[in-house]
Chain A
Amino acid sequence: MHRRTLLALALFTGLTAPSMALAADDTIKIGLLATFEGPFTVLGEDGERGAMTAVAETNGTVAGKKIEIVKGSSDASPDSAVRAARKLVEQDGVKVLVGPLSGDEGLAVKDYAKTKPDVTFINGTSAAQDTTLRNPAENFFRFSTDGAQWMAGLGTYAFNDKGYKKVATVAEDYSFPYTQVFGFMAEFCKAGGHVPSKSWVPIGNKDFSSVIAAIPEDVDAIYVALGGADAVNFLTQYQQAGGSAPLIGGSITVDQTVLTSKGKLKDVLKGTPSAGPTADTNDAPAWKAFVDAYKKQPGAFPSPSLFAHGYYVNMKATLLALDQVGGDVSDGGKKLREALSKLSFDTPTGKVSLDKNRNAVADIFLTEVTEGSDGNLLNKLVKVVPQVNQTLGIPEDEFMKLGAVNRDNPSCP
C-alpha cells in the first residue's frame, strides 16, 4: 500500500506541467521543423544549415530582438511532422514555424495550420502541389516552389535536345514524387514523348531488383525521382545489374546530398540532365555570396543542396517580414501574415514573390551533372527558366482540369 502511494505521488509530480516561461520581450521564438531522423536525416541536417545561414546573416537578431530557434524533429511521415509541430506550437509556444521538409509532411502540417489560425507557418522544402494549390491554409506560406515547378524546362529539354522519345519513370510512392513526375510529364508528353512504365517504390526501399527488372528494354532513358539513401541504393543496384540507359534526374536525385555520396556512382551520374530551384555552377554574385555564407555552417557540403536553399529562402522571408512588423506577433501574427503575402525579395537564385495561394513564383534552373575541377560532382547550369508560377504558365482553369496529381495522373503510355 505504501508502495502504491509513493508510486502515485511520483506519477502525479512527474505529470504536472511545469508552467512554461513565456518568451521574454527581447527574444523571438521561431520553430524549425526538419527531418533529423529516418531516411531523410542528411537532407534535414542540410535544411537546418540553410536556415541557420539566414539567421547568421542578421547576426541572430531581428528588429532588435534576439532570435531563439527551437528545433523539432520528424522522420518524413506525416504523423511525426504533426506531432513535432504540435510540440513546437503548443508546448514551446512558437508563433512562427519554419518547416517541414517532405511532401506528405507539408500536406499534414497545412491541415494542422488550419486549426491554429494565430500561428504563422512558413514552409521548409516540402514541395507537394496540393499543399498550396487545392484547399490551402490562410496561414501557410511557401517561398520555395513546388515539385512540378522545379521540373520546368526539363521535359522539353529531354525531348528536343537529348532526343529521348520513350522514358520510364522510377519514383518514390508519395505526394512529392507524384508532383515531380507530373511536372516532367506535363512538358514531355506535350512535346510528343511517351512514358510506357511508371514504377512507384516505398520510401526507404532497399532492394530495387524487381523494379529494375520491370523497366522496359526499349526505353531511351529513365527518369529517376528518388531522394537520399533511396537514390543511392537504386543507382548502385541499377549499375550492378548492368543497366546502361541514360538517366534524367528529379530535383533531389542529383542533389548534393546524393552527388557527394561515396562510390562508383560518378560515371553513372555524369551528364544527367535535371532541373530544380538551384544550380551549383550559378555565376550570379548573389549565389556565390550565399555559397560562401553557407560553407561557414558546420558539416556543410561543397555546395548547398536544395534543402539548404529552400530552408534559407523561407527563413530569410520570415526574418524580412518579421523585421517589417518590428518583430511584433502579439496580434496573432496578422500583420506578419500581411507582410509575408506582399513580400517580394531577391534571393540567391533570383526574385521571389507569392501568388494568391501564398505559393512562390521563382526562377528555375535547368542543369546537367558534370565533374568539377576538384573531382566533386556538380550541377552545371544549362538554362534559367524565369519566374515559373505554380500552374507552369498554363491558365489556371485549364491547369486545374488536369486534375490532382497521383500515381496515375498524368499518363501518356
Chain B
Amino acid sequence: MSLTTVADGAVPQQNWLDKIGAGHVILAVALVLYPLVASDFFLTQIAGYSMIFGVLALSLMLLAGYGGMLSLAQITVAGIAAYAVAILGSNNSNVLGFGWPWWIVVPFAVAAAAVSSALIGWISVRTEGIYTLMITLAIATATFYFAQQNYAIFNGHSGYAGIHAPVFWGIDWRDPKPFYYLCLGLAALSYAAVLYGSRSTFGMTLQAIRDNPRRMRALGYHVTAHKVFAWFLAGILAGLAGVLLVWFNGRVSPGTIGVDVAIDILIIAVIGGLRHPIGPFVGAIVVILMQTFAIDIVGAERFNTLIGLVFLAIVFISPDGILGLWGRIKPHLAQGSLRAGP
C-alpha cells in the first residue's frame, strides 16, 4: 500500500530513494504506523475522512492545476458513485437495492461516476474560467435538488441508509484500522497516479493546453478530447472517493452532495494549494480539523465564523494556499542555515 512498493520495481537501475524522495518515504512510513498512536476517532473521523476529501480535492486539483478547469461538480460525481453503491448494493431504506456483491457494485459505481464526469466535462469544456465554475455549479445545484425531490431513484430528502462496507478475507472493512488502510491505499495510489500522470505525455499535453490552447490546436492536438479525457480521469478519482464516502457514512442523502459540500471541496483545494498533488491532502486535513474542533474552541454560536476567518487568513497571507506559504518560508530557512555557518 505504501509508496515504496509502487516505485520499487519500476526503476531498478537508479537509486530508488532519490527517485521517489526521502520525504515520501518518511511520510509513507509515518502514515502506515499512524494507527499505533491514534485513537479510533482520529483514525477514521479525521484521517480517513481527510483522505477521502483529499482524493476528492485531488480530482479537482487535477482539473484545475493541470487543465485550468475549475469545477464545483466533483462532489456531484462522487455522489453519483455513492448513490450507485446504495442502489446496486443493499440498503435498508426499502427502495431499490439490487443486492449485488461489492466487486460488481464498485466497478459499476466508479464507471458511472467517470462517465458522468466526462459528460459534465463535455458540456463545460467549451467554456473557460468563471463560466466553467458557473456551469458546474449549476450542474451541482440541479443534481442536489433533483436528488432531494426524486423519490423513485434517489429516495428524496432522507436518501439511503444502512449501506455497509464489504466484509471479505475475514475483515470488516469499516472497522477503524482496515478502513484507515483502505483510505490510505486509495489516497497513496491516487497521489502516485496523479504525480506520474502529470509527467506523462498526456499530462504534459494537458498542461500545454492549459497554457495555450490555440497553439496546441494549431499543432494538431484535439484540445476538447484531451480535456474531456482529463474529466474522465478526475471522475475515476472522485468516484472512488464517493464509494469510500458512502461506506464511511453508511448512508447517502442529498445533504452529502449539497452545494455547501461542493464549496468545501473547492476550499480544500485552494487552502492546500493547486500546484502539487500533496496540496489537496494538506488542505483536507486543515479543513476537517477546523470543522471538527472549532466548536470546542469558540463555542456553538460562532464556530463557523472562526472557520471562515482562518480560511480567509490563509488565502490572504498566501494566495497559493499552504503549499505557497511553505514555498515562501523555505528560502528564508535556507538562508538562515547559510548564515549560521562558521
Partners in one complex: yes
- B255, A78: Cβ atoms under 8 Å? yes
- B26, A91: Cβ atoms under 8 Å? no
How many angstroms between the C-alpha atoms of A368 and B37 in the bound complex? 59
Min C-beta distance of B78 to chain A, whole Å: 13
Contact with B along A26-64 (1 / 0, CB 8 A): 000000001011000000010010000000000000000
User: A9 interface residue, CB < 8 Å from B?
Assistant: yes
How many residues of A are in contact with the other chain, CB < 8 A? 44
Most buried by B among A45, A77, A107, A111: A77
User: A262 interface residue, CB < 8 Å from B?
Assistant: no
Which residues on A sit within 8 Å (CB–CB) of B289? 14
Which residues on B sit within 8 Å (CB–CB) of A11? 27, 30, 282, 285
How many angstroms between the C-alpha atoms of A107 and B326 in the bound complex? 45
Min C-beta distance of B49 to chain A, whole Å: 9
- B249, A79: Cβ atoms under 8 Å? yes
- A107, B249: Cβ atoms under 8 Å? no
Name which of B107-115, B192-200, B211-219, B299-307 contacts chain A.
Answer: B299-307
How many angstroms between the C-alpha atoms of A11 and B184 in the bound complex? 14
Which residues on A sit within 8 Å (CB–CB) of B2? none
Contacts A14-B285, A87-B292 given; indicate if A8 touches B27 (C-beta within 8 A): yes
- A174, B157: Cβ atoms under 8 Å? yes
Name which of A15-23, A185-193, A206-214, A335-343 contacts chain B.
Answer: A15-23
User: B41 interface residue, CB < 8 Å from A?
Assistant: yes
With CB as the reference atom, state the residue of chain B lying closest to A44.
B300
- What class of interface size applies to chain B in its complex with A? 35 or more
With CB as the reference atom, state the residue of chain A lying closest to B337.
A2
Tell me the interface secondary structure of chain B in the complex: helix
Name which of B96-104, B144-152, B227-235 contacts chain A.
Answer: B144-152
Contacts A11-B285, A173-B149 given; indicate if A87 touches B41 (C-beta within 8 A): yes
How many angstroms between the C-alpha atoms of A80 and B251 in the bound complex? 11
Contact with A along B1-41 (1 / 0, CB 8 A): 00000000000000000000111101100110010011111
How many angstroms between the C-alpha atoms of A108 and B159 in the bound complex? 11
Which residues on B sit within 8 Å (CB–CB) of A125? none
User: A5 interface residue, CB < 8 Å from B?
Assistant: yes
Min C-beta distance of B300 to chain A, whole Å: 4
How many angstroms between the C-alpha atoms of A15 and B37 in the bound complex? 10
Q: Which residues 72-116 of A sit at the B interface, judged by CB distance below 8 A?
A: 72-73, 75, 77-80, 82-83, 86-87, 90-91, 104, 107-108, 111
- B23, A16: Cβ atoms under 8 Å? no
Contacts A73-B295, A104-B158, A111-B162 given; indicate if A5 touches B26 (C-beta within 8 A): yes
5 A-B residue pairs with Cβ-Cβ distance under 8 Å, sorted by A, are: A5-B23, A71-B295, A82-B249, A87-B41, A111-B161
What is A's interface to B at a CB cutoff of 8 Å? 1, 3-5, 7-9, 11-12, 14-17, 19-20, 34, 36-37, 45, 48, 71-73, 75, 77-80, 82-83, 86-87, 90-91, 104, 107-108, 111, 173-175, 202-203, 407
User: Assuming A4-B23, A12-B31, A87-B41, what are 13 further A-B pairs, CB within 8 angstroms?
Assistant: A1-B21, A4-B24, A4-B27, A8-B23, A8-B24, A12-B30, A15-B285, A16-B34, A37-B304, A77-B255, A77-B258, A90-B39, A90-B40
